[in-house]
Amino acid sequence: MTRVLITGANSFVGANFCKYSNFDSIEEVSLLDKRPEDINYGNYDVVLHLAAIVHQSNKIEEEEYFRVNRDLCLEVASHAKKSGIRQFVFLSTLKVYGGFINSSELRNENSECFPDDAYGKSKYAAEKDLKKLEDKNFIVSIIRTPLVYGEGVKANMMSLIKLVDLLPVLPFDKIENRRNLTYVANLVGFIDKIIEKSASGVFIAMDMQAHSTTEIINYISESMGKKVLLVKLPGIILRFLYFLVPDKLDKLFGSFEFENNCTRQQLDYQPSITTEECIKRMVSFYLENK
């Protein structure tokens, strides 16, 4: 029986891993309550490290991102290795690649990384240092994900659901961007396969297809049984908004698309739940709980 320890308690991914994983022996530990050196790693076979600072609305110094996302991660990994843990699974992010790149080719597991914010830089620094710890007795598995969504999440997908529920007209018609997403149960499927196969390396975990903002809005409105009029913003207004809030507009109108053929081939796994079905589940959860 494989025993999994999640470092970083009460996270969205951790709660869903406990819910959807094929593994029965899973425990969580809070790194706010316990220091890495005080954890009894001898009771486990695999560490799934989820503790992290992600993008925050409040200003956080870059040093704090590195302290948590790199330094704390390496402390856990070092103690886990000394205690005989056989596999360390690290949840990273597609932000390690940076933003837009002037190329017609989709980025993949082997593409160069040029992180351009504190979150991406700190995660990539952790990846590089973790690889230095790896040997034949200590497997390091790095999982890069785009936006993770699902029932109960409070991130961007829920904001779109609330917009569709509140407004009859939205400025999202004929947006031709492409963005990858990861439904949390699909992500758990990737993690399970990585642990089952003791797979080493870098993996990209995401849903089968990329989607445009327009497609996602249509999925949401159909799931709600609500008609929403989509209009297209004039270019001059869009450029003005980009000047004011570039990050927020990029998430709605920009592309962030990848391919993960190597991951799917190595793991012999592809997500079974479509984005349309995932959004239906989220909308149902929202309507039941709003």
| Neighbour count for residue 93 (Cβ, 10 Å) | 23
Q: Which domain holds residue 23?
A: 3-212+251-289
Percentage of the residues of the chain whose pLDDT score is greater than 90: 78
Q: Is residue 102 part of a domain?
A: yes
Whichever domain contains 11, its CATH number is 3.40.50.720
pLDDT digits (tens, 9 = 90+) for 164-223: 999 999 998 998 889 999 999 999 999 999 999 999 999 999 999 999 999 999 999 999
Q: Is residue 243 part of a domain?
A: no
CA 146-152-154 angle, to 5 degrees, is 60
Rounded Cα distance, 215 and 228, in Å: 13
pLDDT digits (tens, 9 = 90+) for 226-284: 999 998 877 766 665 555 556 666 677 778 899 999 999 999 999 989 999 999 999 99
The predicted pLDDT at position 154 comes to 80
Identify the band that residue 130 occupies on the pLDDT scale cut at 50, 70 and 90.
Answer: very high
Token pair of 220 as six digits: 């949401």
The predicted pLDDT at position 238 comes to 66
- 29 DSSP β-pair partners: 7
Q: Is residue 239 part of a domain?
A: no
pLDDT digits (tens, 9 = 90+) for 64-102: 999 999 999 999 999 999 999 999 999 999 999 997 655
Token pair of 252 as six digits: 């709605």
Q: Is residue 29 part of a domain?
A: yes
Q: Is residue 116 part of a domain?
A: yes
The predicted pLDDT at position 41 comes to 95
Domain count, the chain: 1
Q: Is residue 232 part of a domain?
A: no
Rounded Cα distance, 159 and 153, in Å: 10
Q: Is residue 227 part of a domain?
A: no
Summary mean pLDDT of the chain: 91
Q: Is residue 77 part of a domain?
A: yes
